[in-house]
């Protein structure tokens, strides 16, 4: 019985990709700039070899054990869904559509007819800002707030005391069913909030994402078909449209997701534990707050020994990211960056740095190799290099 743990540090990129200039992201470096601005040190991640990635701007520990590398994203785009799908073995040949000027009037009219209500907004905005701008009108009219961003998203915000969560989720499901063809955004996102005009409005932890289903089988599907456990923690179930999972815990926030992962590791299972830690991106990257970003990284670094202690000799730990969201960069959106790769097993005798690799899907190929599956997802396993360190 072997367990693999795949942790996505959401948005913790390590330097701009070669094509970042096409996205306006030349020079972005989420981790490196956070380190330079705050003086951050991550001793436990450094012991996994994070410092060997030069763009991280961290010292390379002589005690490092495991595999390190940077991963290029082959798929176009810089969003959560694209990044996670490529990690899981599915690469896209074109980006999801974006709507910086808002969604077409004909769609909004049809959507309003379908939900039986007018809407507010329909423009690109910060989620925390738009509820302050339109929150009072939302309470007065009862109309949900719709908005987007530079990402491929259709977001619907509603006060929890005005539009109950189940109704908000139902509205999102309606939108998801309507957003097809040229309108097929990567995610529809429910953004519930609470508060009042006097106090201001605050988003709650009851966010829910409604993603497109991957167009091909992922490593999740293939592991499940082979009889292995596939456990999602955080928004993994949303990103993969609930497909390929045998269990799920929709924990909200880094702390709860880490605790959920530790609880799963107390139990026997045979397969993949797939964890997304969203706070780096959602709370700190988009708000361009490097000090808070650094604090969240330190908190994960402090938790890492507890995760490693739960792993046995037959287990595998992989840590990566899905895109960047440089908290020192212009704007408030994701940045087109490499992802870090750290891989570790108990009992390793050394460290190997693999340089820059050509696809996030090397992770899917390695997990497939780890369980003796034949699928390689057009990518290359690094399992042999890891086993050479045993």
Q: What is the pLDDT of residues 112-154, one digit of tens each?
A: 999 999 999 999 998 999 999 999 999 999 999 999 988 899 9
How far apart CA 245 and CA 266 sit, in angstroms, is 19
> And the tokens for 58?
């961290």
Asked if residue 261 has pLDDT above 90, the reply is: yes
Supply the pLDDT for residue 151: 84
Specify the CATH class of 105-210 in words.
alpha beta
How far apart CA 254 and CA 161 sit, in angstroms, is 26
pTM: 0.91
Reduce the DSSP state of residue 223 to 3 states and report it. helix
How far apart CA 32 and CA 279 sit, in angstroms, is 18
Supply the pLDDT for residue 336: 97
Give domain limits for the chain: 3-92+215-387, 105-210
Rg (CA), the chain: 21
How far apart CA 89 and CA 72 sit, in angstroms, is 13
Q: What is the pLDDT of residues 80-105, one digit of tens each?
A: 999 999 999 999 999 999 999 999 99
Supply the pLDDT for residue 137: 98
CATH 3.40.50.300 fits 3-92+215-387, yes or no: no
E strands of the chain, at which residues? 3-9, 66-71, 120-124, 145-148, 153-159, 187-196, 200-203, 208-211, 229-233, 247-249, 271-277, 316-320, 339-344, 351-357
CA-based nearest residue to 376, from 95, 92, 93, 91? 91
């Amino acid at each position: 019985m072997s367990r693999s743990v795949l942790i996505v540090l959401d948005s913790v990129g390590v330097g701009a990709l070669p094509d970042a200039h096409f996205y306006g992201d030349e020079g972005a470096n989420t981790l490196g700039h956070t380190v330079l601005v705050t003086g951050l040190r991550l001793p436990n991640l450094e012991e996994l070899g994070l410092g060997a990635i030069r763009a991280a701007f961290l010292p390379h520990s002589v005690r490092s054990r495991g595999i390190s590398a940077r991963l290029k994203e082959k798929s176009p785009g810089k969003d959560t869904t694209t990044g996670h799908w490529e990690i899981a073995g599915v690469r896209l040949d074109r980006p999801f559509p974006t709507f910086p000027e808002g969604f077409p009037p004909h769609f909004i009219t049809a959507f309003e007819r379908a939900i039986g209500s007018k809407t507010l907004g329909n423009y690109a905005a910060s989620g925390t800002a738009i509820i302050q701008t339109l929150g009072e009108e939302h309470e007065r009219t009862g109309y949900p707030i719709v908005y987007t961003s530079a990402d491929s998203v259709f977001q619907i915000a509603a006060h929890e005391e005005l539009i109950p969560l189940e109704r908000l989720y139902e509205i999102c499901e309606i939108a998801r069913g309507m957003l097809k063809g040229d309108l097929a955004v990567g995610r529809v996102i429910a953004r519930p909030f609470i508060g009042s005009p006097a106090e201001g409005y605050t988003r709650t932890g009851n966010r829910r994402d409604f993603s497109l289903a991957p167009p091909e089988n992922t490593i999740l599907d293939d592991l499940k078909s082979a009889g292995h456990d596939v456990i999602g923690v955080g928004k993994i179930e949303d990103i993969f449209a609930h497909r390929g999972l045998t269990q799920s815990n929709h924990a909200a926030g880094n702390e709860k997701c880490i605790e959920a992962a530790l609880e799963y590791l107390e139990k026997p299972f045979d397969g993949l534990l797939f964890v997304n830690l969203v706070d780096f991106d959602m709370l700190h990257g988009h708000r361009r707050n490097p000090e808070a970003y650094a604090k969240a990284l330190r908190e994960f670094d402090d938790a890492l020994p507890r995760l490693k202690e739960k792993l046995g000799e037959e287990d595998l730990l992989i840590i990566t990211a899905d895109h960047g969201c440089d908290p020192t960069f212009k704007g408030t959106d994701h940045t087109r960056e490499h992802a870090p790769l750290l891989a570790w097993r108990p009992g390793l005798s050394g460290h190997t740095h693999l340089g820059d690799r050509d696809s996030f899907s090397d992770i899917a190929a390695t997990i497939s190799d780890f369980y003796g599956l034949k699928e390689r997802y057009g990518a290359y396993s690094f399992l042999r290099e890891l086993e050479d360190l045993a």
